[in-house]
Amino acid sequence: MRLSWIIIAKYTILVCPNKADLNKPRYINAGGRLIDLNIPKVMGIINITPDSFYSGSRISGAEATVAAVGRMIADGADIIDIGGYSSRPGAPELPAEEEEKRVLPAIKLIRNEFPETVISVDTYRAAIAEKAVVEYGVHIVNDISGGDADPEMFKVISKTKVPYIMMHMQGRPGTMQDAPQYNDVVSDILKYFGERIFKLRSAGVSDIIIDPGFGFGKTTEHNFDILHRLEDFAIAGLPLLVGLSRKTMIWKTLGITPEDALAGTIALNTAALMKGADIVRVHDVKEAIQAVKLVCRIKNL
């Protein structure tokens, strides 16, 4: 564990030579809009897919998409995250053409209907990310592979200058839950981030958000260990996103289904917010906003 801390510290120091800079940035620049992270933000999930693990998140058709986004915005969502493929455990690989056909028209529709909304595209494909940003005005790229699935991704982020959400995943969705193993799950993830933060900073990328990737190549024990030690990720000096919404660690622990996992989601999101999460990615925006408000009262924000 000590070695991994030294490695992450090494990369952080190379990136941020001034001690004061080791503090998290409190703003990210999304297309000229400064997103203030002094108050945690809520990202609403829009899945343009027929097979997401939570049936309540599956959306098909323009009317349903507009209605779902409209509800999230009315409930207080700060960011809308649009994805065109399922990354659930065991999910088959989706051809790039099909992903593009699903996600880009949905982005265009949302941009037209809700022009003031900050939009994130959930993709690990550099070509789709670039097209979404350059041609469709997307503000943030959310990459579950942390740049591993497509070697062109970091180049696209460097060129487009958009905020980049870098998630940790061990393996690929189809196989990631077969037998995930770590020496120490938190320090291994920190080492992973440290190496990639250095590459991104060297390429001139300013706005980086890290996501430890709950449920992506982790056992339930790994997931709860990460949540228990979430404050350790502050050493990276970057904003932290967590995606816990209705995940296996909740419903398997409680012996329920994803459809019944709202209360558990609120409980774990609250714990994450108390431990320093800056963005929570959720299916249920209204309840997440309430959790943020109550945590802010506790923290006197």
By annotation, the residues acting in catalysis are 247, 281
Cα distance between residue 122 and residue 159, in whole Å: 18
Residues 6+ apart with CB under 8 A from 63: none
